[in-house]
Chains A and B, each alone.
Chain A
Amino acid sequence: MTTLPVATTAEQRFGVFRAAFEQAKRALPKAHRQTHYEFAGLPVRLSVVGSKLAERVEIPFAHLRMADPPPLHPTLTIELWDGSEAQAPVPAGLNEPADGGKWMVDGGLLSSSKGGRFISYWRGHSLMWLDRDTDRIIGWIESADQLTLYERTKPLPAVLAQWYRDRRVQIVHAGLVAKYGKGALIAGPNGAGKSTLTLACLCAGFESLGDDHVGLEMTGDGTFVGHSLYNTTRLELQQVRLFPQLVPGTVRDHHEPNEKELIMLAKVFPERLRRSIATDVLVMPRRPQSSTQPASKAEALLRVAPSSLVMAMGPGQRGLDTLARLVDRVPAYWLNWDRDPHEMAQRVGDLLAMPT
């Protein structure tokens, strides 16, 4: 293995990190896989060294895969390697750009270079860097087996969210379904029934763009377009029993002693997974009454904003302003819980069928 150059500046460190990826690729050419996707309508190239890692990282994005031929000029290039399989550890001293800000985020160290061009995220078993100028993510994972269930459901934490944010796509804590060519954003904190309602809609024949986190983009004419980010979901066993049609999508090889199952929706309903849709209505499930009622703009903002800004990498005041524009433009309804989530799905369909 060739010796990597000494790096002092953030740009040099990124260069060393990239060189390490290239070394891993040369060390394990048969385990190198390249696939292409559309993230928020933009072409992305994913290049992975390590068979198991490639399979695990590709699963959540499977529904966003682009058909051949691959794009000539991807908007984002992601290059990852499995340190264990490639026998290629992460070079020393690259945990951070070293000359900018640092924050502890979800048990990992998030750092930026001075000026903000480079972002790095170090979690002990993985290191990711994003170059915001060349739109390139480089990542080392100690071993594919080290990925947590959460990371397998939503890969590339922090750096991918930053890339979306740079493109004014805000990640919101919400589900998104579509019917009649119109989108219903399903918002609320954990426990409100977001995932359950989204999956009930999917099983009832709606198109789905995600049950937990979706990207929201405001277009030039003020329309809000929702983008699918992942097709995977984690369900508790009792939720899985509610939706037996989803059982064939269970990914069974995760090692966590967890009461949650990882489900790959692209395996069960590939034709019902949609990439983007305009958001026409905001639905907010809540317990325990049984009816559908219009919600005020303030109620809607209070429902969708807190968890989106805190839990889904929201960009602070700018994020809140965007969500305020969303609730100002899109009608919102409380959807009070029925016993039967399938009946709830019918009511979402009724809202989408209303003329706009």
Chain B
Amino acid sequence: MKSERTYEAWKQKHRQIEVRDEFVDTVMNQICQCEQKKRKSVPDMRWLAELVSEHWLVRAGVIAAGAAVGLARAAFVICAFLRA
């Protein structure tokens, strides 16, 4: 049947498509740019992690600073409660 052949030929035409050779490179360049942006937006804090994990004195300092902040916060809350 002619119309059936035409219909199949039309489907076949839609299945064939030209893709530029550079398409993959274009996508990979965009991904590369995306990765670079990501790296720029997140500051590299590995040096800090290394410093904390390697020196006990630094670790003690960080813990002491955290404890001091916690105590200050607790004192502030207690003061606010007593005033009210």
A and B bind: no
Q: Which residues of A contact B (CB under 8 A)?
A: none
Q: Which residues of B contact A (CB under 8 A)?
A: none
